Amino acid sequence: MYSNLQRMIERTEIMRRQEGVLRGVFDAWAYHEVAVPVLTDHELFRQQKPLPSSSMYKMIDADGEVLVLRPDMTAPVAQMAAEQWRHVPRPLRLSYFGEVFRRRINGRGARTIPQAGVELLGAGEPESDAEMMAMAADALESLGVRQFQINLGHNGLLAELSEVLDLSSAESAELRTALADHDLVSARRLIEGRSHSQLTEPLLRIFAPGEAADHLSLLEELGRSLCGLAHLQRIFSATIDLGLRKNVQVDVSLAGDFAYYTGAIFEVYCPVTGARLGGGGRYDELLGSLGSPEPATGFALDLQELSRVPLSSESDAVKQRQMCLVVADESRRQRANQRAEELRAEGYRAVVQILCGAVDEGEVHSWAHTRGFDAFCVLDGTRDGETLIEVCHDGSWSG
């Protein structure tokens, strides 16, 4: 039981330290933190449909209004930008931290997902999409994540491709499924024999995973044929200018998790665990539907998944202040509290425990070890020393 509690405590501490690191990163990129309401009008999500209605937690207040626990951060931020911050000069750079709440579908997925994210409103150039990926990379590297991959796609590309190839709605859906499953045999069958069939081979090459340099040449080759690919080429070139060549890979099979995505989208993965760490994309039509037409893009990171990723040992996000126990008899109560304050000033976490009678150092060690302390200091009036005694992970101790 205690081990389960300890794991929860450790994971919570990691997420809190991660939040501190991410706040520093977002602030360095000049993004201002905002608070996003936990309860939101259901009408916002009913109109925008970013997620299936079945995935939302709904309730009715005393006035009969239908509310939802926020299943997403972007739509509420966009609503506030369109209504409350309409006249604030653009571009507007905003960041947020908090949980989103989603009902499990088919018993899978988390109900509560802690997130950290940003929204860039009023910027439509390819460099702003590249800025999102560069910020995500900066955030991961600052957290100590050394191995990650960013897959870049375009949500409108498959619709454009379906129109160019004259695919029916059913065929378009089948192509989307085939590409999402990396089923190139089915994709070839749907593409071959259509108009613009000369696109078949280069399209299938770009649908398949490959090297970044090859993707760049293919994007340059195909960009003249499809506007979505031309846009991806400009974004991809901008990411290279930002030093992301080794981390970004084009994956035009991406469709995005949310219905409001209209252009470039990206997802961030950890190749070590296979976990999806976050993602984002462009949603140029969302603010327009809320009465304030303007381009927008953003991304969010999943702090729960990030807390499970192996981090480099030098990362600030994994560094944990040592926890020290200061034990004293009643005659040394004041000095014990002073000693704890000194330890806290030195960067330790300190706890004071006052005991009645004589202090048994062996019992103190056992008590400290079972409760996860890194060191202890005994003050009982019979000794002058106040040296910290290290509690080793194997239960042994120095001193």
At residue 232, the pLDDT reads: 84
What's the pLDDT band for 395 if we cut at 50, 70, 90?
Answer: very low
For the cut 80, the answer to whether the pLDDT of residue 344 exceeds it is yes
- Listed as own residue / partner, the contacts of 223-228 with beta carbons closer than 8 Å and 24 or more positions apart are 225/164, 225/196, 225/199, 226/157, 226/160, 226/161, 226/164, 226/199, 227/160, 228/154, 228/156, 228/157, 228/160, 228/161, 228/252, 228/263
Shortest CA distance to 296 belongs to which of 80, 33, 91? 91
Contacts for 189 with CB less than 8 Å, ≥ 6 apart: none
Classify each residue of 47-66 as buried b or exposed e, where b means 16 or more C-beta atoms within 10 Å of its C-beta. ebebbeeebbeeeeeeeeee
Average pLDDT, integer, range 181-209: 71
Whole-angstrom distance, CA of residue 307 vs CA of residue 325: 27
Taking residue 198's Cβ as centre, other Cβ atoms within 10 Å add up to 9
Task: With CA atoms as reference, report the closest residue to 212 among 180, 247, 254, 243.
Answer: 247
DSSP per residue, 119-144: EEES--SHHHHHHHHHHHHHHHHHHT
- Taking the alpha carbons of 80, 81, 82, 88 in that order, is the dihedral positive or negative? positive
Of 216-220, 243-247, 282-286, 337-341, the poorest mean pLDDT is in: 216-220
Q: Where are the domains of the chain?
A: 2-306, 323-390
Helices (H), 29-165: 42-48, 74-83, 126-143, 157-164
pLDDT average, residue stretch 274-302 = 94
pLDDT tens track for 201-232: 666 666 665 554 556 666 666 666 677 778 88
pTM comes to 0.79
Cβ burial of 35 (10 Å; 0-12, 13-18, 19+) is exposed
CATH assignment of 323-390, given 3.90.550.10, 3.40.1120.10, 3.40.50.12590, 2.40.50.140? 3.40.50.12590
Please check whether residue 115 is in contact with residue 300, taking contact to mean a CB–CB distance below 8 angstroms. yes
CB atoms near residue 68 (< 10 Å):
21
pLDDT at 207: 64
Which pLDDT does position 381 carry in this prediction?
A: 62
Query: How much is the pLDDT for 319?
Result: 61
Distance in angstroms (rounded) separating the CA atoms of residues 386 and 342: 11
Taking CB atoms within 8 Å and a gap of at least 24, the contacts of 356-362 are 356/329, 356/330, 357/329, 358/329, 359/327, 359/328, 359/329, 361/389, 361/399
pLDDT of residue 313: 56
Least confident of 241-245, 304-308, 384-388: 384-388
pLDDT at residue 221, as a whole number: 62
> Which amino acid makes up residue 335?
R
Residue 320, classed as helix, strand or coil, is coil
Taking residues 382-396, what's their average pLDDT?
61
What percent of the chain has a predicted confidence (pLDDT) above 70?
82
Neighbours of 226 (CB within 10 A): 22
What is the pLDDT of the chain when averaged over all its residues?
83
Q: What is the pLDDT of residues 77-132, one digit of tens each?
A: 999 999 999 999 999 999 999 999 988 765 555 689 999 999 999 999 999 999 99
Greatest extent of the chain over all pairs of C-alpha atoms, in Å: 93
Is the pLDDT at 383 greater than 80, yes or no?
A: no
User: Terminus-to-terminus CA distance in the chain, angstroms?
Assistant: 31
2-306: CATH superfamily: Bira Bifunctional Protein; Domain 2 (3.30.930.10)
Taking 60 as the threshold, does the pLDDT of residue 18 lie above it?
A: yes
DSSP string computed for 228-245:
HHHHHHHHHHHHHHTT-T
pLDDT at 398 over 80: no
Is there a contact between 119 and 286 (Cβ–Cβ < 8 Å)? no
**Least confident interval from 107-116, 132-141, 333-342:** 107-116
Q: How far apart are alpha carbons 337 and 120 in whole angstroms?
A: 48
Q: What is the pLDDT of residue 399?
A: 46
More confident residue, 71 or 216: 71
Whether residue 62 is predicted with pLDDT greater than 70 in this model: the reply is: yes
Percent of residues, the chain, with pLDDT higher than 90: 35
What contacts 2, CB < 8 A, 6 or more positions away?
A: none
